[in-house]
Amino acid sequence: MIHEFQNPIPVIVEGNKEGYAMYVRDGSTWENDIWCIVHCEGGIVRHYRSDQIIINKNSTFDIKKKEQ
Span 16-67, pLDDT tens digits: 899 999 999 988 888 889 999 999 999 999 999 999 998 876 666 666 666 5
Q: What is the pTM assigned to this prediction? A: 0.77
Q: From CA 67, how far away is CA 62, in angstroms rounded?
A: 15
pLDDT recorded at residue 63: 60
pLDDT recorded at residue 44: 94
DSSP assigned state of 32: -
